[in-house]
């Protein structure tokens, strides 16, 4: 059994992308590889056998060519208003969710340790992703995701920095210097990530840094254009694509599962709308999932987007689509008898009422779409595969509980993942994406081959 760990000097240092690249690269060397992140914080999740995990570990497992599962991300924190929901081994832990953050770590560590130990026993190599920075000295006593994991796994650590932000050598040295000696010894290589400058300007920086720390710079990874979704929807930035049909995705504060729209960017000019004017000219307006539907409903009213979406639904040639929480927002009313989310009057664009329940529904779902008329006719009869993560039960006027409903130019569905189906995108927008996830995984592994010391990577994956 062996493990390699990727840590970062900061958040957004590119840990997730580098871990994904290493999962595919090591799998190409013939190893049976599992990803692992002890604790993730994201409202972007995927449903796997046993429950839900962060999207990054789902992607990393796909890159490794193995089935994603809950042990690969044993703790998922889903931010809510002023706190976070704790998902342990795929299921909500209501008791821990009520505890203050600093009181959770020791209760969660046995879950983390057991999941890691089992993966180490079952796989040739576990590629571990850290979180934030290992040098956050104010949080060191509660660490269950960085050096404590590295020590338990016996893992050498690659420390990555986002050089595009500037100050890379200071970040690397400062992070290394703040670590206690036993943790410094685990750091075997520095990686300069997201480099797009003149490589001739780097010396003598790496050499001086190695003299100060004893740690070599083992990779200079360029800025890579890829099609993977960002782990945190707040970072999504879609470039304008000339000639493609405009699609506006409303990005409310608690928007969730925004990662499912990554493939959409290949076939549409995607606009992440936070103001009414950003809906102008869009032929398709999408309301995505929401971790807190009632608060996002209030936000839509306060920004003017509530009225703007309703207005868009009445314009010729404009379609409005809600996904999961977006479907609930398009309905007439939200009911909350158990104090789960909040009650309120919806947009009234679909004849639906949603009642929030204590128990969260988490499941995969495959079905054949029914027949549709008008602007949604292209979806008729498609076989789709998706997943549900919700606490709302939605009923129509006739008492049925539809997964998919349409009324003229307005539609909604409860299945996440349909925007990742090329047939669905073709039915909605007239074209299929040119590149697949697997194409991106291969691209990332090629980048590792070209820009990281692969001899060092092979030695790190040896017996611990």
Distance CA 212, CA 30 (A): 36
Q: In Å, what is the CA distance from 164 to each residue of 187, 192, 223, 228, 463?
A: 22, 9, 8, 19, 34
Tell me, yes or no, if 9 is annotated catalytic. no
Distance CA 356, CA 394 (A): 9
Active site residue: 23, 183, 292, 324, which one?
A: 324
Which residues, other chains included, contact 149 with Cβ-Cβ below 8 Å and sequence gap of 6+? 5, 36, 38, 112, 116, 128, 130, 155
Q: In Å, what is the CA distance from 208 to each residue of 174, 183, 204, 211, 440?
A: 14, 21, 6, 5, 35
Judged by DSSP in three states, 170 sits in helix
Distance CA 110, CA 131 (A): 18
Which residues, other chains included, contact 374 with Cβ-Cβ below 8 Å and sequence gap of 6+? 406, 408, 409
- 73-98 b/e with 16+ CB inside 10 Å = b? bbbbbbbeeeebbbbbbbebbeebbe
Length of the chain: 464
Q: Helix, strand, coil proportions of the chain in percent (round to 5)?
A: 35, 30, 35
How many CB atoms are located within 10 Å of the residue 351 CB? Answer: 14
Tell me, yes or no, if 324 is annotated catalytic. yes
List the structure tokens of 190. 């520095």
- 49-60 b/e with 16+ CB inside 10 Å = b? eebbbbbbbbbb
The answer to whether the beta carbons of residues 208 and 247 sit under 8 Å apart is no
Our CA dihedral for 369, 373, 374, 377, rounded to 10 degrees, sits at 30
The answer to whether the beta carbons of residues 436 and 448 sit under 8 Å apart is no
Q: Which residues pair with 406 in a beta bridge?
A: 411
Our CA dihedral for 398, 296, 100, 97, rounded to 10 degrees, sits at 20
Which residues, other chains included, contact 74 with Cβ-Cβ below 8 Å and sequence gap of 6+? 38, 39, 88, 89, 108, 111, 112, 115, 116
Which residues, other chains included, contact 237 with Cβ-Cβ below 8 Å and sequence gap of 6+? 272
The answer to whether the beta carbons of residues 187 and 36 sit under 8 Å apart is no
Active site residue: 171, 183, 292, 416, which one?
A: 416
Any idea which residues carry the catalytic annotation? 324, 416
């Amino acid at each position: 059994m062996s493990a390699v760990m990727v840590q970062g000097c900061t958040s957004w240092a590119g840990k997730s992308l580098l871990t994904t690249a290493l999962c595919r690269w090591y799998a190409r060397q013939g190893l049976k590889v599992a990803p692992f992140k002890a604790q993730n914080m994201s409202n972007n999740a995927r449903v796997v056998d046993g429950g839900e995990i962060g999207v990054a570990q789902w992607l990393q497992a796909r890159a490794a060519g193995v089935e994603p599962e809950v042990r690969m991300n044993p703790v998922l924190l889903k931010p809510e208003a002023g706190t976070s929901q704790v998902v342990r081994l795929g299921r909500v832990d209501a008791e821990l969710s009520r505890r203050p953050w600093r009181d959770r770590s020791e209760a969660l560590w046995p879950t983390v340790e057991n999941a890691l130990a089992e993966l180490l026993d079952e796989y040739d190599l576990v590629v571990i992703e850290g979180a934030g920075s290992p040098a956050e000295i104010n949080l060191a006593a509660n660490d269950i995701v960085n050096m404590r994991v590295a020590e338990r796994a016996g893992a050498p650590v690659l420390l990555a920095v986002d050089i595009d932000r500037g100050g890379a050598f200071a970040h690397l040295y400062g992070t290394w210097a703040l670590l206690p000696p036993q943790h410094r010894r685990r750091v075997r290589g520095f990686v300069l990530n997201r480099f797009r400058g003149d490589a001739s300007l780097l010396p003598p920086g790496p050499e001086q840094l190695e003299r100060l720390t004893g740690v070599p710079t083992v990779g200079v990874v360029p800025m890579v254009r890829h099609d993977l979704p960002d782990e945190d929807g707040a970072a999504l930035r879609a470039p304008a694509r000339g000639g493609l049909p405009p699609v506006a995705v409303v990005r409310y504060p608690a928007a969730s599962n925004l990662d499912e729209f990554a493939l959409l960017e290949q076939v549409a000019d995607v606009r992440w709308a936070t103001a009414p004017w950003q809906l102008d000219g869009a032929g398709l307006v999408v309301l995505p999932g929401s971790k807190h539907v009632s608060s996002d409903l209030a936000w839509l009213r306060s920004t003017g987007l509530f009225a703007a979406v309703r207005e868009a639904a009445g314009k010729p040639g404009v379609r409005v689509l809600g996904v999961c929480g977006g479907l609930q927002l398009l309905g007439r009313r939200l009911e909350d008898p158990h104090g789960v989310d909040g009650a309120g009057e919806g947009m009234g664009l679909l004849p639906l009422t949603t009642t929030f329940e204590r128990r969260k529904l988490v499941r995969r779902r495959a079905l054949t779409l029914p027949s549709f008329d008008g602007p949604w006719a292209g979806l008729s009869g498609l076989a789709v595969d998706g997943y549900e993560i919700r606490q709302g039960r939605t009923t129509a006027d006739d008492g049925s509980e539809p997964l998919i409903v349409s009324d003229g130019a307005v539609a909604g569905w409860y299945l996440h993942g349909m925007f990742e189906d090329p047939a669905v995108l073709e039915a909605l927008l007239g074209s299929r994406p040119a590149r697949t996830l697997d194409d991106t995984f291969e691209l990332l592994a090629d980048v590792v081959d070209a820009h990281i010391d692969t001899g060092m990577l092979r030695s790190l994956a040896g017996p611990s």
